[in-house]
Structure 1
Amino acid sequence: MDIFLAILPAIFWGSIVLFNVKLGGGPYSQVLGTTFGALIFSIGIYFVVQPELSPRIFAVGVVSGLFWALGQTNQLKSIKLIGVSKTMPISTGLQLVSTSLFGVLVFQEWATTISIVLGILALIFIIVGIVLTSLEDRSQKTEEKTGDMKKGIVILLISTFGYLVYVVVVRLFDVSGWAA
């Protein structure tokens, strides 16, 4: 049961983009809808858990949320250019690599030699997966598709920066998951 509960956030969080794409609208309306949905859900959860809320936690939440919006909006823009099947693996991989590297370099999260070796190997495999996902069939390659792919990758790099700061700000100010 614990494993099932542990994977629920990944399943629901990862499916947000699929719901946004299916429901339609532009990136800004999709982010606005997701934000309102999260606000309603958070208000409901607040009455059950009642985490500590202070002006500092509120300010961190606002800053973190702004960077989440930057990440989400640009991820949705990228979907318009290169499609869900390319955007999601590349975006997820870039997020995993950037947050892992930040955690290691700034927060020294990998303390043992084995964790460093396994972590580096995992990051290498993720990077290889990102590259393989972004490759296109040469017979289908056109100048327009190549331009869209390059533009989509640049937009995903901006998205990754937004997602990275969104997570790091909460960690830097030691805000609990419930309060966040």
Structure 2
Amino acid sequence: MGILIALIPALGWGVQPVILGKIGGKPTNQILGTGVGALIVGILVQMFTSPSSLSWQAFAISMLAGMAWVLGQVGQYKVLPILGVSQTMPLTTGLQLIGTSLIGVIFFGEWSGVISKVGGFAAIALIVIGSVLTSYTEGGNRSDGLYRGLAILVPTSIGYWIYSALPKTLSASGLSMFLPEMIGVFLGAVIYVLITDPKAVKARTSWLSMIIGLTFSISALAYIYSAKANGVATAYIITQLNVVVATLGGLVVLHEHKTRRELILTLSGLVLIVAGSIVTVFL
């Protein structure tokens, strides 16, 4: 049963961009729907699980983490139409893993000891090489798209790093932080939409995109239970399969085209990214 729970976030986060590709819409539509769906699940979880209460400081920090996640997700939504799912997801996953690993080392004292640091930076090297392989394109126009995509993904990935790092400053359980994080996702989405495209509130695709919010938040909840049932290391490793699911989904379901060389390098890069993420867990 524990492994089945662990597969929920791997599949859920993996199919998110594929579903998004089918729904369509602008990033403002997509992030608004995501925020609404996340808030609904957050409220339901609070009602039916009654987790322990948080101090107002912990509540605020958890909410800020959710708002930071919106920054990273908006960047991803902006790049998906440029690069496609099969290229965007390995790149954004690589950036998330590199950033969160380095923050863990610098600010939280992770990878203590020489052997751990050597192994950790070797893992980062694997992730970097894997990301480079998945980003390989043949043809000048497609290379231009890669540069535009990276120009968006690199700075917005800071939001994902903050989302991952802030909860580490708290001693509260993941279930206790779940609702305030989802509130933060909702507020961040609403603020972004009101500033950039208020008309998105009335768009049909905004409400269809609630499916993404439901998928994201249910997967996040399943990860919390998976970490309890399987241990953090096992839960995290299985979750990393989401990048494989997303990439293959982009190729098979959305029919994204890759040349033979691009396909071989993409699949090879995926193996390195997953391998690098697994190494970081055991340090």
Same fold, TM-score > 0.5, yes or no: yes
Q: Does 1:176 align with 2:150?
A: no
Of all paired residues, the percent bearing the same amino acid is: 40
Question: What's 1:129 paired with?
Answer: 130
The one-letter amino acid paired with 1:15 is: V
Return the offset for 1:121: 2.2
Instruction: Give the equivalent residue in structure 2 for 1:88.
Output: 89
Deviates more, 1:67-76 or 1:113-122: 113-122
1:74-130 Cα offsets, whole Å, 9 max, x none, are 101011111111100000011011101111121112235443333222211111000
Counterpart-to-counterpart distance in 2, 1:19 and 1:179: 29
Query: So what's the TM-score if we normalise by structure 1?
Result: 0.88
Q: Secondary structure at the match of 1:81?
A: helix
Structure 2 spans left out of the alignment, 5+ residues: 178-283
Residue deviations 1:7-36 (CA, integer Å, cap 9, x gap): 322322333222222211111111111111
- The separation in 1 between residues aligned to 2:29 and 2:54, in whole angstroms, is 28
Paired position in structure 1 for 2:116: 115
Letter matched to residue 160 of structure 1: S
Question: Which structure 2 residues correspond to residues 7-156 of structure 1 after superposition, within 5 A?
Answer: 7-51=7-51, 52-137=53-138, 141-142=139-140, 144-156=141-153
| Cα gap change, 1:124 to 1:38, in 2 (>3 Å) | same
Cα RMSD over matched residues? Answer: 1.8
In 2, the alpha carbon distance for the partners of 1:13 and 1:54 equals 30
Opposite residue 20 of structure 2, the aligned amino acid is N
What CA distance in whole angstroms lies between the structure 2 residues aligned with 1:17 and 1:172? 30
Q: Give the residue type in structure 1 aligned to 2:76.
A: Q
SS where residue 176 of structure 2 aligns?
coil
CA distance in 2: counterparts of 1:22 and 1:175, whole angstroms:
37
Please tell me the residue identity of whatever aligns with 1:80. Answer: P
**Number of the residue aligned with 2:258:** none
Q: Secondary structure at the match of 2:175?
A: coil
2:181 is aligned with 1:166: no
Distance 1:111 1:79 in 2: 37
Maintained 8 Å contact 1:67/1:166: yes
Give distance in 1, aligned partners of 2:79 and 2:126: 23
The CA deviation at 1:43 is 1.2
**Offset of 1:44 from its aligned partner?**
1.3
* 2:270 matched residue in structure 1: none
Name stretches of at least 5 consecutive residues in structure 1 with no aligned partner. Answer: none
The alignment partner of 1:179 has SS state of: helix
Q: 1:18 to 1:174 in 2, by over 3 A?
A: farther
Inter-CA distance 63–83: structure 2 relative to 1 (3 Å threshold)? same
TM-score (structure 2 length as normaliser)? 0.58
AA paired with 1:5? I
Are 1:57 and 1:179, in contact at CA under 8 Å, matched by a contact in 2?
Answer: no
**Letter of the 1:41 counterpart:** V
Equivalent pairs counted in the alignment come to 176
Amino acid at match of 1:166: Y
